[in-house]
Amino acid sequence: MTLCVNFKDVTCSLFKNNNANSCNISDYYHLQTMGDQTKIFKRRKYMSKTNIAVVLCGSGYKDGSEIRESVATLWALSQNPVEFQCFAPDVTQADVINCLTGQPTPNEKRNLLVEAARIARGKIKPLSQLDPAHFQAIILPGGFGVAKNLCTFAKEGSNGSVLPDLQKHLETFYLSKKPIGAICIAPAAVALAFKGKGFSLTVGQTCEASQEIEKLGHKHVVCKANEYHLDTNHHIVTTPAYMYDDAPLHEIFTGIQKLVNEVCDLT
């Protein structure tokens, strides 16, 4: 089978012959084939490596990073011609919630970095070691732990603040005009980090969280779980994910994949 892809002045032919693939392509473009799907990406300037930072904060949707959202983010990144590195704060998490009963376990203490290493399969670094100069974008998966550990939005709403390390990194990415991706409740942390900047963000439907975000001087955009929103003026990409608590898993993955693809395209 011969598949021809025309992209501006570039024509590429992919020839499939049993297990053999061959293609003739311009040096300016990258072709990636996964099964029967072929994606064409514009190559980065000077063929420099594109690195994406992913910030986690524990493991679990009630007190840390939402596991499905985190996995979806890494899964989607793996389908793009980029490298990625996970980071998490090396501190004790705000609380520990039994996800079976939904009740807190006040005598139990957990470390955000150690717990997030479960998701990252050990390939994770302390947030303090994140150097924005080495990364072209940053993505924050959701989970209620974001509102508890990466910022104080859960307790203080629009009066809250962002973890100093994360605040510093987000400001650096923003000032460098590098894209910021935020999933589920993570846009609230972005909103807190940039009070009064007038971003357009989504946390899904109009709700208490969206109202608090608007109090911070931003605009909330209603968006479905399988969609995403791009603030073109500020390079901020957001998707609701499990802000729709009963959304089908495939819709969560679809929305996150769209966000990740947009973030990668913006680098």
What percent of the chain has a predicted confidence (pLDDT) above 90?
A: 80
Tell me the pLDDT tens digit for each residue of 82-137: 999 999 999 999 999 999 998 989 999 999 999 999 999 999 999 999 999 999 99
d(CA 183, CA 186): 5
Query: Interior CA angle at 53 toward 120 and 77, to 5°?
Result: 70
Kindly list the domain boundaries of the chain, sorted by start residue. Answer: 2-42, 45-266
Mean pLDDT of the chain: 87
- Is position 184 annotated as part of the catalytic site? yes
pLDDT(13) > 90: no
Going by the DSSP 8-state scheme, the letter that residue 134 receives in this structure is G
Contact of 73 with 142, CB cutoff 8 Å: no
Q: Is domain 45-266 annotated with CATH 3.20.20.60?
A: no
Asked whether the predicted pLDDT for residue 12 surpasses 60, the reply is no
pTM reported for the whole predicted model:
0.84
Instruction: Considering the candidates 184, 207, 223, 264, report the single residue annotated as catalytic.
Output: 184
Give the span between the Cα atoms of 147 and 185, in whole angstroms: 7
Neighbouring residues of 253: CB distance < 8 A, sequence distance ≥ 6: 72, 75, 76
What one-character-per-residue DSSP string does 188-207 give? HHHHHHTTTS--EE--SSS-
Rg (CA), the chain: 19
Length of the chain: 267
The pLDDT of residue 18 is 41
Question: What strands lie across the sheet with 20-24, from one edge to the other?
Answer: 2-7, 10-17, 20-24
